[in-house]
Amino acid sequence: MAGFKRYRKESEVSYSLGITLTFELLKYKTEYVTRIFIHSGMKEGDTLERLKELSQAAGIEIVYTDKIFHVLSQKENCYVIGEFRKFSCNLSEKESHIVLVNPSNAGNMGTIMRSALGFGITQMAVIRPAVDAFEPKTVRASMGAVFSMDFAYYDRFEEYRKVFGERELYPFMLDAQMSLHKIRPKGIFSLIFGNEATGLPAEFANIGTSVVIPHSERIDSLNLPIAASIAMYEATKK
Amino acid sequence: MAGFKRYRKESEVSYSLGITLTFELLKYKTEYVTRIFIHSGMKEGDTLERLKELSQAAGIEIVYTDKIFHVLSQKENCYVIGEFRKFSCNLSEKESHIVLVNPSNAGNMGTIMRSALGFGITQMAVIRPAVDAFEPKTVRASMGAVFSMDFAYYDRFEEYRKVFGERELYPFMLDAQMSLHKIRPKGIFSLIFGNEATGLPAEFANIGTSVVIPHSERIDSLNLPIAASIAMYEATKK
C-alpha cells in the first residue's frame, strides 16, 4: 500500500471525510468508490456493521489504518474516510442550471450544491479559473450533494453559452435591470453568479436579463452562497 | 501596557480584525473603540493616513505593535486591529426581529447578521446557550454588520416571549403548518430559528405559525444562515 498524500487537484481520486458523507458516497456513487478507510478509534456497533456490509456487497476494499486520517483530516471525530475516483458529468439542455463564474471558495461551492439539490436544481456549470468540485472541503460542505449533482467545467463562459445559450439566462449583478422579486422563469433557465469578491464582469449585463436581489445600502452585498440560494429558492417556486 | 491574551467570552473588550472591519467599527461604534493596533507590515499610504486621522479625531490611542496580531489573528494579511468595549443593546417592540435559539457557530451568526442588515432587520434576539456575538469570528463573518445591529441575549425563550409575544411569531421547523411561500406578515414579526444540528424543540410548533421552507427530500435541511436569509428575504418583500 502506497503512502498517503494530501489531496491535490491533479489526483485521480478524492475523499469523503466522515461517516455520514461516506454513506452518501456509497449510496449515490457506489461504482466509483475505490477503498474505505477505518480508524482505530471507530466504535464497534450497528453503524460500522452496516458500513462493512455495504462495502462488501459492492466489492469495495476496507483498509484499517490511522495514517490517512493524519494526512487528510483535521477534525478529531473523523473515523471513516471513503476514497473515490473522480467522475465526469454532462449537463443537459433540458435541465435548469446554476452557473458559477470563477468561484474561489471550496466551502461556498459545496454549500451552493447543497441548496441547489434542495431546490431541485441538479446541474451546475463552473467557469474557470475556479475551485475544485472534488476537493474534500467542497465535498464536505456539500453534505454529500456533490454525489447527486451533475457538474461540468468550462474554460470560458462563451463555451457554455454556445451550447446552452437558447434558454433564459439570468446573470446576477448589483447594477441589474430586474429585481429578483419580478423574475418568473417560463421554461428552462440558468442562474449565473460571479466571484465572491468581484462579482460578474460588466459584460454580463448584455447577456439575458440581469437580476439583482434587492438589499439595503448598509451592506455591500450578500454572501455568495446566500445570494445563490435565495435566487434558486425564488426561481424554482411554483 | 499589559500582555495580550486570547479573546474570551468574559473579556470586557473584543476586536475587529482587519482594516475594512476596523473602519466599520470606527464609523458605527466610535465611542466604544479603546485602541487601534497597527502592525509593522502595514503599508504607508492614504488608507493608513485616513485611519490615523479618524482615530485622532475621536481621541483613540494608536498602538504600534506586532504582538497582538500573533495572539488574535491567523490571517497573514491582517495589519490593523480595532479594540472595542462590548456594548449592550435593547430590542424594540416596534421592530421585527430575527431570533436565534441556541446557535452554536460564530461564523453562522455573523453571516445571519450581514443578511439581516441587508434585508432591513436590524434587531436580533439570542436564546442561550449560544455563541458570543462579540467573538472576533462573529464580528468578522458579519462584515461589520454587528456594529449596526441591536441584539439581546435571553436565558429562556419564554423571557423573550413575555416581552415580545404579541407580534406575529414564525418558528421555522421542518414539520411546519405553513409554507414560506404563503407567509405575508401584516405587521411586526419575529422569525425564529433553532440550533444548526437539532433545529427548534418540538414545543415551538405551538407558538405562532410554524413555517417550513419547501425543499426536496434529497437534502436533510438547508444550512442555517441560508434558511434564515431566505426567510428574511421573503418576509421583508414588499
pLDDT tens-digit profile of A107-160?
999 999 999 999 999 999 999 999 999 999 999 999 999 999 999 999 999 999
Rounded to whole angstroms, the Cα distance separating A164 from A206 reads 16
pLDDT value at position A238?
79
**A223·B115 Cβ contact <8 A:** yes
Burial class (CB in 10 A: 0-12, 13-18, 19+), B237: middle
**CB proximity A225 to B under 8 Å:** yes
With a pLDDT cut of 90, the percent of chain B lying above it is 94
pLDDT at A34 over 80: yes
pLDDT surpasses 60 at B1: no
**In angstroms, how far is the first alpha carbon of chain A from the final one?**
53
Instruction: Quick: pLDDT tens for B70-121.
Output: 999 877 789 999 999 999 999 999 999 999 999 999 999 999 999 999 999 9
CB contact at 8 A, B35 and B61: yes
Indicate the residue of A114, A115, A216 with minimum beta-carbon distance to B117. Answer: A216
Collect all residues of chain A within an 8 Å Cβ-Cβ radius of residue B145: 218-219
Q: What is the mean pLDDT of residues A183-187?
A: 95
Test the A interface: residue of B114, B183, B196 with most A CBs within 10 Å: B114
Q: Which 3-state string (H, E, C) describes B112-164?
A: HHHHHHHCCCCEEEEECCCCCCCCHHHHHHCCCHHHCCEEEEECCHHHHHHHH
- Which residue matches cell numbers 465572491? A196
Interface test with B, best of A21, A109, A218 (most B CBs within 10 A): A218
Residue in chain B lying closest to A20 (CA): B220
What confidence score (pLDDT) does residue A32 get? 98
Distance from CA of B229 to the nearest CA of A (A): 7
Burial class (CB in 10 A: 0-12, 13-18, 19+), A95: middle
Partner residue facing A223 (CB), from B111, B117, B234: B111
For residue A212, count other CB atoms closer than 10 A to its CB.
16
pLDDT number for residue B126: 98
Share of chain A above pLDDT 90, in %: 94
**What does the pLDDT look like over A54-79, one tens digit per residue?**
999 999 999 999 999 999 987 778 99
pLDDT at A73: 84
pLDDT tens-digit series, residues B144-173: 999 999 999 999 999 999 999 999 999 999
pLDDT of residue B77: 87
Identify the CA nearest to B192 among candidates B147, B158, B150, B141: B158
Q: Which of residues 111-150 of B touch A (CB under 8 A)?
A: 111, 114-115, 117-120, 143, 145, 148
Compare CB distances from B115 to A114, A226, A237 and report the shortest one's residue. A226
Q: Is the ipTM of this complex over 0.90?
A: yes
In contact, A187 and A167? CB cutoff 8 Å: yes
Of the pLDDT bands very low, low, confident and very high (cuts 50, 70, 90), residue B21 is very high
> Does residue B71 contact residue B6 with C-beta atoms inside 8 Å?
yes
Torsion of CA A74, A75, A80, A85, to 10 degrees: -40
Per-residue model confidence as pLDDT tens digits over A6-24:
899 999 999 999 999 999 9
Q: What is the pLDDT of residue A148?
A: 97
CB atoms within 10 A of CB A51: 20
Q: How far is A38 from chain B (nearest CA, A)?
A: 25
Nearest Cα of chain B lies from the Cα of A121 at a distance, in angstroms, of 10
How many Å lie between the alpha carbon of A41 and the closest alpha carbon of chain B? 23
Quote the pLDDT of residue B2: 57
**pLDDT above 90 for B238:** no
Q: Check if CATH label 3.40.630.30 holds for domain B97-235.
A: no
Q: What is the mean pLDDT of residues B3-19?
A: 92
Residues from chain B that touch A181, judged by Cβ atoms under 8 A, are: 237
Q: Chain B 10-29, CB below 8 Å of chain A: which residues?
A: none
pLDDT band at A175 (very low <50, low <70, confident <90, very high): very high
Q: Cβ(B17)–Cβ(B75) under 8 Å? A: yes
pLDDT at residue A27, rounded to an integer: 97
Domain boundaries, chain A: 13-85, 97-235
> Does B145 sit within 8 Å of A218, measured CB to CB?
yes
Strands A13-17 and A80-85: antiparallel
Residue B141 confidence (pLDDT)? 96
> How far apart are alpha carbons B234 and A134 in whole angstroms?
33
pLDDT for position A74: 78
Q: Do domains A13-85 and A97-235 have the same CATH topology?
A: no
Nearest to A111 among B143, B213, B223 (CB): B223
Q: B80-119 in b/e burial notation, b at 16+ Cβ within 10 A?
A: bbbbbeeeeeebeeebbbbbbbbbebbbbbbbbbbbbbbb
Most B CBs within 10 Å, among A24, A229, A234, to test the B interface: A229
Mean pLDDT of B211-237: 97
Relative to beta strand A123-127, strand A168-171 is unpaired
Fold exhibited by the domain A13-85: 60s Ribosomal Protein L30; Chain: A; (3.30.1330)
pLDDT at A203 over 70: yes
Give pLDDT, residue A2. Answer: 57
Q: pTM of the entire structure? A: 0.96
B181 — contact with chain A (CB < 8 Å)? yes
**Cβ-defined contact of B119 to A226 (cutoff 8 Å):** no
pLDDT digits (tens, 9 = 90+) for A77-98: 899 999 999 999 999 999 999 9
Q: Which of A179, A215, A220 to mutate to test the interface with B (most CBs of B within 10 A)?
A: A215
| CB-facing half-sphere around the CA of B102: CA atoms within 13 A | 10
Decide if B213 touches A, using CB distance below 8 A.
Answer: yes
B237 Cα to chain A: minimum distance (Å): 8
Angstrom CA distances, A72 to A7, A39, A143, B75, stand at 7, 12, 17, 22
End-to-end Cα spacing for chain B: 53
Model confidence at A180, pLDDT cuts 50, 70, 90, reads: very high
